[in-house]
């Protein structure tokens, strides 16, 4: 269905007709000039992210429902990374004329899937027309007890540096998607050149053959065999609420924490700069999945560089007092990769052959696109 036939308010009604609040702090959601929230005893956490087509995502290989899921989840991840609980979400979308009502419904379906995982209420937003592609802006609101909030600036000398999961997978997933997109466009260009040559030669027999194969060219199937994990890490990241819960159950309270969206190296710079400290991390302690390692070799890329600077992992980077060392030992999926030092010692990577190299914050920068 064409969006203009439904109209803005008709579209909003269609997208939000089944939205029902799950949180007591949501007094009133969709349906008025403002949502009404009530947090009598908790500190309120607010984060916002904007995703722009051509900068943050490519619709050539990004399914719309997974785009909606990722847009919601990266905001949820910010709340989780401050040791908070996500509660509400405000969603604004700028839509270009390519998209149908069903397309926008697919985006919202993905968002609601992500929100349902964390019991987040969609409480409002806006829709408008775009002349330059699809844009999604989301604000997520959460809460936490004042004493439970974990900032970036709390790391102390001798604290252990930990990460959850594995790193570099999302970045290598992006490399695979971009490679397959290039192959697809090459096939399209080759087909179009053959058509032009046949037309120029008035070769109706060749044109008939090309018309018969057009569907095969347009129905290009990318080769993701054995790379499914990497693709899912790029297109459908997960906020690590499970890690936060595991830390709470063991009585571990991080001194500093953030999610890894721009690469491990960049996030370490944030924590160390704001905490006025340095760090040492060990190359052989950085967790990397075997698919990531194999794909780096396939692309002739440095494995450690991909893990340090790739970004989009949305794993948790955090520091804990050294006294919590034993509590961490049996915690599955948590890796101790280094420790916090004096600020004067700087930020260094200790290589596998025990040499120190200064860390460089070379994470993804959308302003350079």
Kindly report, residue by residue over 71-106, the tens digit of the pLDDT: 999 999 999 999 999 999 999 999 988 898 899 999
158/284 same-domain check: yes
Q: Is 217 in a helix, a strand, or coil?
A: helix
Query: Distance (Å, rounded) from C-alpha 267 to C-alpha 269?
Result: 5
Q: Which two tokens stand for residue 334?
A: 């948590």
In order of 233, 261, 313, 363, the CA distances from 238 in angstroms are 8, 12, 9, 20
Do the domain assignments include residue 226? no
Q: What is the CATH number of the domain that holds 314?
A: 3.90.650.10
Coil, strand, or helix at residue 140? Answer: strand
Tell me the C-alpha to C-alpha distance, in Å, between residue 262 and each of 168, 317, 361: 11, 12, 9
Both 162 and 243 in a single domain?
yes
pTM value is 0.90
Q: DSSP of 229-279, one letter per residue?
A: HHHHHHHS----HHHHHHHHHTT---SEEEE-SS-HHHHHHHHHHHHT-EE
Residue with tokens 């400290």: 277
311/257 same-domain check: yes
Could you tell me if 279 and 341 are in contact, meaning their C-beta atoms sit under 8 angstroms apart?
yes
- CATH number for the domain including 11? 3.30.1330.10
pLDDT tens-place string over residues 254-290 = 999 999 999 999 999 999 999 999 999 999 999 999 9
User: What is the C-alpha separation between 15 and 36, in angstroms, rounded?
Assistant: 20
Residues 121 and 136 in one domain: yes
For the chain, the domain total comes to 3
pLDDT at 245 over 60: yes
Helix or strand (DSSP H, E) at 227:
none
* Of the residues 220, 249, 279, the one at which a domain ends: 220
Per-residue confidence (pLDDT) for residue 217, from 0 to 100: 79
CA pair distance 135, 132, nearest whole angstrom: 9
Same-domain pairing of 20 and 92: yes
Domain span at 125: 3-148
Q: Please check the confidence at residue 122 and state whether its pLDDT lies above 60.
A: yes
Cβ atoms within 10 Å, residue 165? 19
In a domain, 252, yes or no: yes
Is there a domain that residue 251 lies in? yes
* 80 and 129 share one domain: yes
pLDDT of residue 225: 84
Q: Which residue has the tokens 């308010």?
A: 9
Q: How far apart are CA 25 and CA 41, in angstroms?
A: 11
Distance CA 89, CA 305 (A): 34
Is residue 97, in this structure, part of any structural domain at all? yes
Kindly report, residue by residue over 7-31, the tens digit of the pLDDT.
555 665 666 667 677 888 999 888 7
User: Any idea which of 103-112, 149-158, 216-225 has the lowest mean pLDDT?
Assistant: 216-225
pLDDT band of 367, cuts 50, 70, 90: very low
Per the domain annotation, does 300 fall within a domain? yes
Is residue 225 a part of any domain in this protein?
A: no
Q: Are residues 184 and 168 in the same domain?
A: no
Residue 208 lies in a domain: yes
| Residues linked to residue 91 through DSSP beta bridges, in sequence order | 125, 138
Least confident interval from 28-32, 37-41, 87-91, 299-303 = 28-32
Residues 189 and 65 in one domain: no
* Same-domain status, 209 and 274: no
Do residue 208 and residue 352 come from a single domain?
no
Question: Within a domain: residue 18?
Answer: yes
Q: How many other β-carbons are positioned within 10 Å of the β-carbon of residue 346? A: 14
Pairing of strands 85-95, 135-144: antiparallel
Same domain, 293 and 184: no
Strand 278-282 to 334-341 pairing? antiparallel
Q: How confident is the model at residue 3, as a pLDDT?
A: 57
Among residues 310, 326, 331, the alpha carbon closest in space to that of 266 is found at 310
Residue 14: the pLDDT is 64
> Within this chain, do residues 101 and 244 fall inside the same structural domain, yes or no?
no
């Amino acid at each position: 269905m064409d969006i203009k036939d439904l109209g803005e308010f008709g579209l909003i009604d269609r997208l939000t007709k089944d939205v029902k609040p799950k949180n007591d702090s949501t007094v009133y959601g969709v349906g008025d000039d403002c949502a009404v929230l009530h947090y009598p005893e908790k500190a309120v956490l607010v984060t916002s992210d904007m995703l722009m087509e051509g900068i943050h995502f490519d619709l050539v290989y990004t399914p719309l429902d997974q785009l909606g899921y990722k847009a919601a989840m990266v905001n949820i991840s910010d709340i989780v990374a401050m040791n908070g609980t996500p509660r509400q979400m405000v969603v604004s979308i700028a839509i270009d004329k390519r998209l149908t009502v069903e397309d926008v419904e697919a985006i919202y379906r993905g968002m609601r899937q992500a929100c349902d995982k964390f019991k987040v209420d969609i409480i409002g937003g806006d829709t408008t027309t775009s002349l330059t592609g699809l844009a999604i802006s989301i604000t997520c609101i959460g809460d936490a007890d004042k004493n439970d909030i974990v900032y970036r600036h709390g790391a102390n000398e001798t604290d252990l540096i930990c990460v959850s999961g594995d790193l570099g997978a999302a970045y290598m997933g992006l490399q695979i998607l971009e490679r397959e997109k290039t192959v697809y466009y090459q096939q399209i260009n080759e087909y179009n050149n053959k058509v032009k040559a046949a037309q120029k030669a008035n070769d109706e027999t060749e044109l008939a053959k090309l018309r018969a194969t057009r569907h095969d060219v347009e129905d290009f199937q990318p080769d993701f065999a054995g790379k499914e994990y990497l693709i899912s890490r790029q297109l459908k990241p997960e906020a690590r609420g499970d890690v936060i819960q595991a830390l709470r159950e063991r009585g571990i309270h991080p001194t500093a924490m953030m999610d890894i969206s721009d690469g491990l190296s960049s996030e370490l710079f944030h924590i160390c700069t704001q905490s006025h400290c340095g760090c040492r991390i060990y190359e052989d302690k950085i967790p990397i999945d075997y698919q990531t390692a194999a794909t780096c070799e396939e692309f002739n890329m440095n494995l450690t560089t991909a893990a340090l600077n790739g970004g989009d992992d949305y794993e948790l980077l955090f520091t804990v007092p050294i006294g919590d060392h034993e509590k961490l030992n049996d915690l599955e999926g948590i890796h101790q990769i280094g420790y916090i030092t004096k600020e004067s010692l700087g930020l260094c990577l200790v290589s596998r052959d025990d040499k120190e190299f200064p860390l460089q914050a070379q994470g993804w920068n959308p302003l350079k696109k």
